[in-house]
Amino acid sequence: MVRRLLFARWLFPGGDVQPWIDALRAVDRTRDAAPLVALLKSDAPLPADARWLIADLLGRYNLKRPQGGRPTPAYDLSDAARRLLWAADAVKREVELGRNRYEAVESAARVYGVADPETLQKYLSGKHGSARRQKKRQPPTS
């Protein structure tokens, strides 16, 4: 049997756990995980009680992927993004050594398997769409 004294502080509003309780209630009541995701991404401290509540929530729900295309997780890179990153690093090294940028882009695209050198050029200038989306999903650097 669960002692009620352990849970008494959760039954009353306030405290450092309250924002977490509100976010978890939103998931339970409306299936809206946005407040919980925002809290997890923020700098708000994660108390041990809130950690337990999140574990309880995850234990009660089956996590299902949404239908349709699946984005690459933030902790991983797609093969194409990885090739672009490697090629971009190679171009930067070559340009620092005094090589012509155009030749460095052509060479790196060929060596690292980038289909079109223009794609690598866009990536280097920050105009490649998937690279911008991938960067948005990365945690902020401090």
Q: Which two tokens stand for residue 26?
A: 């939103």
Answer whether 87's CB lies under 8 Å from 111's CB.
yes
Long-range contacts from 121-128, C-beta under 8 angstroms, 24+ separation: 123/84, 123/87, 123/88, 124/88, 124/91, 128/84
pLDDT digits 0-9 by tens, 48-88? 888 888 988 888 887 777 777 776 677 777 888 889 989 99
Under the banding of pLDDT at 50, 70 and 90, the label for residue 11 is low
Mean pLDDT estimate for the chain: 83
Under the banding of pLDDT at 50, 70 and 90, the label for residue 1 is very low
Under the banding of pLDDT at 50, 70 and 90, the label for residue 113 is very high
DSSP assignment, residue 64? -
pLDDT digits 0-9 by tens, 27-40? 888 888 899 999 99
Under the banding of pLDDT at 50, 70 and 90, the label for residue 100 is very high
